[in-house]
């Protein structure tokens, strides 16, 4: 992958973005869903050394587009966590990620939104 701002290469040697001290990266797997969409493994390396990963992200995009998608899901999780904390009711997306990641998302929802916007802008400019 050719890197362009805001994308970086992580210590895992994967396409990534840095958000509020965390590194968020992805890699394609050989798996596909029932529609043929490629599966992408995601990693969230939180400040302080805690590492999380999963592989329930599917899409046709390239690494930049899939990072943008992952950031959107992380942002939705953060918004639901904040809703839960304000209103006392569980939001629909509060459990998309492990609890430590969800809490981090809630604390950094503005930064996630900004990073998703930067990725969207960079992907759009690259496509033109």
Per the structure, the complete domain to which residue 34 belongs is given by: 8-127
From 123, 17, 96, select the one nearest 105 (Cα to Cα). 96
Per residue in 56-81, pLDDT tens? 999 998 999 999 999 999 999 999 99
- Answering whether pTM is above 0.85, one says yes
Whether 87 is covered by a domain: the verdict is yes
What is the domain count for the chain? 1
Whether 1 is covered by a domain: the verdict is no
Whether 2 is covered by a domain: the verdict is no
From 20, 27, 72, select the one nearest 47 (Cα to Cα). 20
Per residue in 8-45, pLDDT tens? 899 899 999 999 999 999 999 999 999 999 999 999 99
Q: What is the pLDDT of residue 5?
A: 62
Above 70 in pLDDT, residue 86? Answer: yes
Q: What is the pLDDT of residue 1?
A: 46
Instruction: Please count the helices (runs of H) and the strands (runs of E) in the chain.
Output: 3, 5
């Amino acid at each position: 992958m050719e890197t362009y701002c805001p994308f970086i290469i992580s210590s895992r040697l994967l396409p990534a973005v840095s958000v509020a001290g965390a590194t968020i990266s992805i890699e394609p797997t050989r798996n596909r869903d029932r529609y043929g969409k490629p599966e992408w493994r995601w990693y969230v390396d939180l400040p302080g050394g805690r590492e999380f990963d999963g592989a329930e992200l599917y899409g046709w995009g390239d690494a930049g587009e899939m990072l943008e998608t992952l950031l959107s899901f992380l942002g939705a999780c953060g918004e639901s966590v904040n809703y839960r904390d304000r209103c006392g009711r569980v939001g629909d997306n509060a459990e998309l990620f492990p609890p430590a990641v969800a809490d981090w998302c809630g604390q950094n929802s503005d930064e996630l939104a900004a990073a998703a916007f930067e990725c969207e802008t960079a992907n759009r400019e690259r496509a033109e």
